[in-house]
Structure 1
Amino acid sequence: MDRNPHGPSRRDVLRGALAAGAAVTLAGCGSQADAPHSVTVDQWRQFKGATLNFISENTAPTAAIAANTRPFTDLTGININIVTLELTALVQRVALDLASGHAQYQVIYADPYQVLAPYQRGLVDLRTMQADPNLPHLPGGVADFIPAQMDAAGRFVDPNAYYTLPYDAPTMIWQYRRDLFDKYHDRMANDLGFDPTPSGERTWDEYYRIAQWFNKNATSDVKYGTGHQARQHDSLMNDFSNVLWSYGGAYFDNGKEVGRIGSRDPGPCRLDSDAAIAGAEFYQKLLAIADPASTTWDWDGVGAAFRAGRLAMCPNWHEFAASNEQVMPGKAGYSPLPRGPVATANMYGGTGVAISDNTRPHERGAAWLFLVWATSPQTQLANLKSKAGGGTPTRTSVYELPEVRAAEKRPSPMPNMLTAAAVRQAWEPDKIGLRPKIPMWNECNTAIFTQLSRMLTGGSTPADAMRNIKARVDQIVARGWVA
């Protein structure tokens, strides 16, 4: 999921870093030979002279690594070529590569829904690498990764196997103009009858009323109280799902398990339930008072509008904090999303890095060295500090480092850490929002955001939209998936 914002922020920085720091012309593509291997007491140097190709979406950790691959090459003697693509193009390229029987890309950015679930059989079970006495082990082991992320990004169906290591962790939270909430706090509290300060204890109904208050009372400071990523796009499914789950709606039975571990046969879609329809009705009501441009925005669009001072608040991916702090330092605040009548949900969009099962034995070993290094605490800390992106750690131990803890307060040299208190709550098992991890999700997702878009533009009622989605998703699931 390409979550980089517009303007003088991460998209431009990432592009520059990738162009300057990464070789995008693959060396040795199509070669049938295995990687070189030598017997040495240094496990990190045994594949010296090898070349790896890493295919990734354009994300913050990849940009930071691409801007400075030298530490990995100095450590291992391995050259790493990094190719970045938009996610849809990446999925197509990976599918072709896995079907070819030969690994052009040894290391794969494996989106849980578009790569891991449909193509899990084409990825290496990384337990075999961690158990190999001839290879370096993960520092801190698998247990150092945040558990919900390890499951959501790394596992599929089998709760013991893991096919990726958590690599990035974008999560939707409540982003708001802290300066405006401070300025109008007392007036809002008096008019609304509750403390408007954003927190996970606020409700979606209160969020609606706060947005409405800004629309009516603060037009000299901000144009709209809220904005959303409600374009007919994956972003719309993400934005809506937070509300759906908070109302007790679910895409399938056992939704938490289907989201966390995954399923090849999730059963019938449950979007025709009363709870799901109630969530859709509220979402339609909320969007009716939001910035009208919301139906044209994905996450980039709403992020740019927030930074431009157009919105008092919005739900968006937490990693936009780096851009917020660059453009309007000190003015943004971050909180978990509001709760609904039944639950709290904060959509998780993280991804792991995997090894192609088409790799030859020494290639596989070299690829494991890259995975261990790229997800290590030292590299994640370096990524946090990088001017080429930032990213967010996926390891518990990194968040416990004193300098990382200190960065949670302004002025912060690691601006994404300003969201740490919010995302720590968002990643709790009962609060993390996990879309269904099923092989056919991409097609289901298209059905979902297409019908939601019709609902928002007056083409159907919430009840009809939910029933139409259910009917289409049931058809897709019944057809199954053959990879």
Structure 2
Amino acid sequence: MMSRLRFVGRAFVGFEQALAEQARAFEQSYPDVEVVREFLEPQALYESTIARSELGSGAIDITLTLTDWLPEAMQHGLLAPLDPFLQNDPPANWPEGWPPSLLGLQRDAAGHVYALPYHDGPMMFVYRRDLFDDPREQAAFQERYGLPLCPPETWSEYLRIAQFFTRPEQDLYGAVAAGLNDAHNNVYDFMIQTWSRGGRLLDDAGQPIFDEPIAIEALQYHVDLFNRYNVMPPDAKTFDSVVSGAYYASGRAAMMVNWCGFATMAEVPEQSSVVGKNGLGLVPRGDGEGGRHTSINVYWVLAVAAGSRQKELAYAFLRSTASEEMDRVTALNGCIATRYSTWRDPDILRQFPVYATIEAVHNNIDSPPPIPEWPAITEILNVAVDDALHERKSVAEALKWATSESRKIMRKG
């Protein structure tokens, strides 16, 4: 009799292609098993699996979920602990085969493990190396600004270069970012801008402080890229992370700060017109004393649903997908693999230069606060950033409101 494992994850072509191949490999090893896959947009995925607790209903066996959502999922008992499986039959080279930064967010306070890493971020600076290296562009930039054209170290340099390359008449913009109010990149960009200036999200007592001066400066800069300086494509406020990554890959933007998976996508011939023309670097830092290069450490993980009646079989799929061979499949389909072995694979490095930078990026990363209330607070920040971006409120007003509303959530918690 055929057994069916029901899988639910995020809709993204890279995930869908990689998991199709990984499911076929698993089904070859388990010929009486079919992995039935469903993919949802991030907000719908969160609502169904966690907000409506479908991970505990028995309708789902495996989920591809985001580390931001794990504290809430663990608190409500929606995921099965993997410790017994990892003790008896761990993936090869567990846990030394993965960087420590990809092993911590799926643990609870007692150290129990609830998921295996599948797809890494982090955010990186990505740029059109062919434009930056063009002697004509270098000469023109030097003449206009009296400075050499090189990858920016600071956000002020990023703005200057974005203004230089913004040429709507050539269908070229200096930068692209995801402005859609999907509680994803729009919120993460605010966080990156804040952290890179030396700011913080919570005070020492764990209370939200989004309206501190550094955070206001950070969001104002981000909003100004869209509205004051117009260095983004006119439709960028409607872009999600996938669309913004595809826009860059189309050759119509000179720079972006985005998930490194989209730097990988820009090297896939079927998805990109700028293959072999891309450079990578650290996210720019703030110009002040507290400025530092940082990135955001959130990642996608595979977990076994607490309500699954086939937990051993579901874990077998996780273990199979975490193998070195299947991790390479993740990379070859334009996602970001999580094993050291893939990051250091010479063939992978030749095709996807992003892996030459990823370990350095992981040396300077921040993560959203690992608290159960964070998904609800993210929804508030989503509204606040969108209000500021569309100029329904000033940046200061939007962040003051977000701080007040988020503190109410913390009090309820």
TM-score (ref. length: structure 2): 0.87
- Cα 1:90–1:302 change in 2 (3 A) is closer
Q: Which one of 355, 363, 378 corresponds to residue 325 of structure 2?
A: 378
Q: Is the 8 A contact 2:8 2:39 kept in 1?
A: yes
Matched, 1:336 2:276: no
Question: Offset of 1:175 from its aligned partner?
Answer: 2.0
Q: Which one of 462, 466, 482 corresponds to residue 395 of structure 2?
A: 462
Aligned match of 2:357: 422
Distance 2:145 2:28 in 1: 60
Output aligned runs, 1:29-178, within 5 Å: 50-59=3-12, 60-67=14-21, 69-77=23-31, 78-95=33-50, 98=53, 102-114=57-69, 116-120=70-74, 121-132=77-88, 136-152=89-105, 154-158=106-110, 160-178=111-129
Question: Offset of 1:374 from its aligned partner?
Answer: 0.6
Q: Is the 8 A contact 1:61 1:167 kept in 2?
A: no
Aligned match of 2:161: 210
- Cα 1:165–1:418 change in 2 (3 A) is same
Matched, 1:359 2:308: yes
Report the residue type matching 2:132 in the other structure: F
Aligned match of 1:241: 191
Distance 1:91 1:177 in 2: 34
Q: Is the 8 A contact 1:130 1:138 kept in 2?
A: yes
Q: Which one of 274, 282, 305 corresponds to residue 247 of structure 2?
A: 305
Q: Which one of 406, 410, 413 corresponds to residue 473 of structure 1?
A: 406
Q: Is the 8 A contact 1:175 1:313 kept in 2?
A: yes
Question: Offset of 1:98 from its aligned partner?
Answer: 4.6
Distance 2:252 2:312 in 1: 50
Residues 130-188 of structure 1 deviation map (CA, whole Å, 9 limit, x = unaligned): 123xxx22211123222112113x22434x22111001113222222221111212432
- Cα 1:97–1:82 change in 2 (3 A) is farther
Distance 2:182 2:87 in 1: 41
Larger Rg belongs to = 1
Distance 1:247 1:102 in 2: 43
Aligned match of 1:260: none
Question: Offset of 1:189 from its aligned partner?
Answer: 4.2
Where does structure 1 lack aligned partners over 5 or more consecutive residues?
A: 1-35, 37-48, 255-265
Distance 2:127 2:170 in 1: 13
> Secondary structure at the residue paired with 2:17?
helix
> Secondary structure at the residue paired with 1:347?
coil
Question: Offset of 1:100 from its aligned partner?
Answer: 8.2
Distance 1:316 1:85 in 2: 21
Aligned match of 1:7: none
Distance 1:456 1:96 in 2: 27
Distance 2:55 2:245 in 1: 39
Sequence identity, in percent?
24
Matched, 1:278 2:226: no
Question: Quick check: 317-326 or 161-170, which moved more?
Answer: 317-326
Report the residue type matching 1:163 in the other structure: Y
Matched, 1:315 2:261: no
Residues 7-36 of structure 1 deviation map (CA, whole Å, 9 limit, x = unaligned): xxxxxxxxxxxxxxxxxxxxxxxxxxxxx9
Residues 64-109 of structure 1 deviation map (CA, whole Å, 9 limit, x = unaligned): 2314633212223433222222223323332488568552212122
Matched, 1:399 2:343: yes
Distance 1:108 1:273 in 2: 37
Distance 1:286 1:96 in 2: 34
Where does structure 2 lack aligned partners over 5 or more consecutive residues?
A: none
> Secondary structure at the residue paired with 2:5?
strand
Matched, 1:432 2:365: yes
Matched, 1:444 2:388: no
Q: CA RMSD in A?
A: 2.6
Distance 2:142 2:297 in 1: 31
Distance 1:197 1:392 in 2: 26
Distance 1:101 1:236 in 2: 30
> Number of paired residues?
396
> Secondary structure at the residue paired with 2:113?
coil
Question: Offset of 1:211 from its aligned partner?
Answer: 1.2
Question: Offset of 1:204 from its aligned partner?
Answer: 0.8
> Secondary structure at the residue paired with 1:381?
helix
Report the residue type matching 2:216 in the other structure: I
Question: Offset of 1:203 from its aligned partner?
Answer: 0.6
Distance 1:467 1:96 in 2: 26
